[in-house]
Chain A
Amino acid sequence: MSQHRTLRKALLGLSLSIVFPFAANAADDTIKVGILHSLSGTMAISESTLKDEMLMLIDEQNEKGGLLGKKLEPVVVDPASNWPLFAEKARQLLSQDHVAAIFGNWTSASRKAVLPVVEELNGLLFYPVQYEGEESSQNVFYTGAAPNQQAIPAVDYLMNEVGVKRWVLAGTDYVYPRTTNKILEAYLKQHGVADADIMINYTPFGHSDWQSIVAQIKRFGSQGKKTAVVSTINGDANVPFYKELANQNVDAADIPVMAFSVGEQELSGIDTGPLVGHLAAWNYFQSVDNDANYDFIDAWRAYKKDDNVVTNDPMEAHYIGFNMWVEAVKKAGTTDVDAVKDAIIGVSVPNLSGGAATMMPNHHITKPVMIGEIQDDGQFDVVWQTPSTVAGDAWSDYLPGSKDLISDWRKPLSCGNLNVETMKCGGADVGK
């Protein structure tokens, strides 16, 4: 009988440990790392990859002996592509699980939802995706590109190297494309582009009928001046967009499309044969010829047990962000948020393209900017690159409201939006 009972207990314990794998070893000898990426819903297509990548990075760090003599322990939650749920899950991670840092978010809308929570509970958030700028929080580290690390250099490339005179700014209708296009419009006008030579077009999420918009772009591009499309079209809508471009014979040599949200992963859903020559601007491409990159790709493929999985720019951002956090924790000797926040500024870690990324006082990092042309194997070929890395700028120099603002979180200044004209710190209200 008693034997029976122990057996039952053991079975119960076993099943419990299967159901709650983390509950079993949730002791004080681990450092918890929160992963806040959607695993279901519309954004799962992009975010689930980043969750897997974080698990791989944490595994690797643990194999190297962990951090401060403790093992790292991932805490995965699923905010299900639902912006308010992001805030709730962030609160859960910080106040229940007491994670040392959160790696997460993709869309700007979800970041804006999480922002007040991490500020209130004094957490750390590493945000890995290119975004529109105009934001600075002492609790958020932006490892993706700010507009001056992607949009502005891309437009410079088109203007100077390709000789573009007419511009179509096409985007999905939400905060990132709208702000980016506002910055680009101001930038183009400063460079003498007339109003009539700029066409701005917004489409809803998941737009699938691009016939009349592509026809419009063709018409706009047939006025005798070199025309290019700068696309901030998001994720899913790109496939039908590019298909329509190919079918209406919009050749990359005539009207190139420069995309800010199309990477290797998005292209894996398209037959890229007819798209050869269209462009994308990122800070990393899988095709970058560098040993660190090859090691990373090999590790990732081994982890996923799939020889065809691709890597992309936000993955590199997480790679950098995670390594920076590890270095900062080592430097501070503790995972205490305030100590890490101070220690991480100035930390420099290798990126995947052979250079180094440094955390700047405005919580943005230095990145090289690359322009790639789509190849028929779904990869990009880098055709242009900035000679050195570019530091991210939180507040755009081309918008009237933000051009005098700077962000510097070093003590004693500690201000996210200092107006250099008046030397006053705007406090929490500006930019929200």
Chain B
Amino acid sequence: MISRQLIHTFFSVLLLLGMALSLAAHAEDSADASQAKQLLEALDVRSYDAKGEAIKQLAQSDLPQKGEWLEALRDGRLQRQKDGGRFVIVESDQGREWPIKDAISGEELGTATRRDLDKVRINNQLRSQLQGLAATADLDSPDTGRREAAAKRLIGEVDETTADSVAVRLEQETDGDVKARLRTALGLYRLEQGEADAIDTLRGSLDPAVRNALRPIAAGDGPLADEARTALNGIEQKLKFNRWLQTLYFGISMGSVLVLAAIGLAITFGVMGVINMAHGELIMLGAYTTFVIQQLLPGQPGLALGLSIPAGFLVAAAFGIAIERGVIRFLKGRPLETLLATFGISLILQQLVRSVFSPLNRSVVTPDWLQGSLVINDALALTLNRLAVIVFCLIVFTALMIIMRRTRLGLEVRAVTQNRTMARAMGVKAARVDILTFGLGSGIAGLAGVALSQLTNVGPNMGQSYIIDSFMVVVFGGVGNLWGTLVAGMSLGIVNQVIEPWAGAVLAKILVLAFIILFIQKRPRGLFPQKGRAAE
């Protein structure tokens, strides 16, 4: 019996103890929660200085959630519900409905829209403060990209307190790129300490911090200065080569824009001989098609862009055919009237867009995979949107070449332009060929518009900025010659980008124009004149 009583007592005591313990734990929990709440409240104030202080305090605290909070704050994902004032973390801000969770408890709260939430805002100083805080933590990240970014941020920031830990990190690191960054960071620190052999580790590094560190040393005297000078020379050589490559890339990119804009004109003006001043507006229509399709497919800019390629072609081609049927065919052989009439059409189309879409520029979203750049090294990065335009330009050009050379339509187009009467006598329907050719040229202008929407403004005036350049490229390349258009566009782009850095954008444009005027004086038929029967 005693034993039973004993057990009973024992259990009651245990129960009591358990209750007390759980109560204490609960108290601790709520203490944590209130501290967490306090730290978050401190972040949500107007003054940025106070926010900076709050971030410092949060970083020094030992809250388990602090890493997540700081990251969310940096990315603008730490927000506050408008009613209730609960702090939440937006887990993904893609689309309209954002999944959110409670910042303190981590509890999932379903979704919310932009309108329900107030963002905890930060400014530039706070952003760099947060990035600095993240750098040390990111070095442990399993993601190589993060580690590399963190290591890059360390360059120039290593001091005696962190040097050893960076050295240890360098030992452990497996990824080559991250290693190189860490080595540079450490090398810079050792160079500051006056260690001559540190220069060896810095040789060939393109990081600007390295150049800035070596430059004052190289200006001095002594063996260290000589060493630094040779290292600096090596870097400058490498840099020069990279810059040269970059200019070439810029040139090709600008050239591909010119070619895209001009190649439709090369068909309508070059092959058919129609001076179409509304060509720029057909480009604009292609760009607006992209805008409309993106509006129809919200949250899927990539898919919308893909669909815009055929849609832009069709819309511009339809307008082109309407212009051809409605106006141009009545003005055959009267270039001056055609010029004036199509100029009028261009004004009508501009004002039409202004009335339908408003005179303001429309925002076309660039999909994520076309943003940013392909980083080759510290001095050379290829911007992705322009890379895509170059590739697109080459594809369009190849497709057009195939159509003109290998298809029945191409054959008929060439036949009609060489000798209309003879072609008709052979049974070619000249009027139909006219429609299709003009539609093709216009459709390609639409494609150019789709591509340009990723680079520049989509607005009622966008066509005007390309019409002059387009005519320039076609005339320079040789009217009626598609290869000429490609070569002319590319070479004008490269020449422009080579001149621009030292002459300025305004003068570069003038110089290119003056060059073309002189060139046309000497060779009125352009780079690649038509020869033989096709010439007349």
A residues contacting B by CB (< 8 A) are: 40, 42, 44-45, 48, 162, 173, 201-204, 206-209, 211-213, 215-216, 222-224, 236, 239-240, 243-244, 246-249, 252-253, 256, 265, 268-271, 274, 276-277, 373, 375-377, 381, 383
Contacts and interface: CB of A to CB of B under 8 A. Distances in A.
B481 interface: no
Contact of A44 (B359, B381, B457): B359
Contact of B461 (A42, A207, A246): A42
Contact of B372 (A212, A239, A249, A277): A249
A239 B212 contact: no
A236 B505 contact: no
Nearest to B500: A212
A211 B497 contact: yes
Interface in B473-504: 496-497, 500-501, 504
Interface string B181-216: 000000000000000000000000000110110000
Interface string B352-379: 0010000111110110000111000000
Most chain B CB inside 10 Å of its own CB: which residue of A207, A211, A252: A211
Contacts of B250: 211-212, 215
Nearest to A265: B360
A224 B212 contact: yes
Nearest to B254: A209
Contacts of A236: 361, 457, 459, 461
A247 B383 contact: yes
A211 B381 CA distance: 11
A373 B127 CA distance: 12
Most chain A CB inside 10 Å of its own CB: which residue of B48, B124, B212, B500: B124
Contacts of A247: 371-373, 383-386
Contact of A213 (B211, B361, B505): B505
B121 A381 contact: yes
Nearest to A267: B363
Interface in B364-406: 365-366, 371-373, 381, 383-386
Contacts of B127: 252-253, 277
Contacts of B461: 42, 45, 206, 236
A252 B360 contact: no
A240 B456 contact: yes
Closest 5 CB pairs of A and B: A269-B361, A222-B208, A224-B212, A247-B383, A44-B359
Contacts of B365: 271
B114 interface: yes
Nearest to A205: B465
A213 B385 CA distance: 17
Contacts of B254: 209, 211
A249 B152 CA distance: 14
Given A247-B373, A271-B365, A277-B124, A45 B505 contact: no
Given A222-B211, A268-B361, A270-B363, 14 more contacts: A45-B461, A202-B505, A212-B247, A212-B250, A222-B212, A236-B459, A239-B457, A253-B131, A269-B363, A271-B363, A271-B365, A274-B371, A375-B121, A383-B123
B128 A224 contact: no
Interface of B: 48, 76, 114, 119, 121, 123-125, 127-128, 131, 208-209, 211-212, 246-247, 250, 253-254, 257, 351, 354, 359-363, 365-366, 371-373, 381, 383-386, 455-461, 465, 496-497, 500-501, 504-506, 509
B457 A240 contact: yes
Contacts of B459: 45, 236, 269
Nearest to A373: B123
Contacts of A375: 119, 121
Nearest to B365: A271
Most chain B CB inside 10 Å of its own CB: which residue of A201, A239, A377, A381: A239
A208 B456 contact: yes
Contacts of B456: 208, 239-240, 243
Nearest to A39: B359
A62 to B, nearest CB: 26
A75 to B, nearest CB: 21
A212 B497 contact: yes
A252 B385 CA distance: 20
A240 B506 contact: no
B123 A381 contact: yes
Nearest to A247: B383
Contacts of B360: 45, 265, 268-269
Nearest to B363: A269
Contacts of B506: 173, 202-204
A271 B455 CA distance: 12
Contacts of B125: 162
Nearest to A279: B124
Nearest to B361: A269
Nearest to A221: B208
Contacts of B381: 248-249
A215 B246 CA distance: 9
Given A44-B359, A202-B505, A277 B383 contact: no
Contacts of B124: 162, 252-253, 256, 277, 373
Nearest to A211: B250
Contact of B504 (A45, A201, A271): A201
A117 to B, nearest CB: 26
Contacts of B246: 215
Contact of B123 (A202, A211, A277): A277
A265 B359 CA distance: 11
A269 B257 contact: no
A45 B361 contact: yes
A212 B465 contact: no
B208 A223 contact: yes
A237 B280 CA distance: 18
A261 to B, nearest CB: 14
B457 A208 contact: yes
A85 B138 CA distance: 61
14 contacts: A45-B360, A45-B461, A203-B504, A204-B506, A206-B461, A207-B505, A223-B212, A239-B361, A239-B457, A240-B455, A246-B371, A253-B124, A253-B127, A268-B363
Contacts of B361: 45, 236, 239, 268-269
B373 A249 contact: yes
Nearest to B457: A239
A211 B455 contact: no
A216 B505 contact: no
Contacts of A209: 254, 257, 496-497
A244 B384 CA distance: 11
Nearest to B216: A224
Nearest to A276: B76
A162 to B, nearest CB: 7
Nearest to B129: A253
Given A240-B455, A271-B366, A206 B465 contact: yes
Contacts of B351: 40
A240 B381 CA distance: 18
Given A274-B371, A277-B127, A373-B123, A213 B457 contact: no
Contacts of A376: 76
Nearest to A272: B363
Nearest to B114: A377
A345 to B, nearest CB: 36
A376 to B, nearest CB: 6
Contacts of B76: 276, 376
Given A248-B381, A249-B373, A269 B458 contact: yes
A168 to B, nearest CB: 13
B505 A204 contact: yes
Nearest to A240: B456
Contacts of A246: 371-372
Contacts of A239: 361, 456-457
Contacts of B384: 247
A87 to B, nearest CB: 23
Contacts of A213: 500, 505
A383 B48 contact: yes
A274 B506 CA distance: 28
A375 B461 CA distance: 27
Contacts of B386: 211, 247
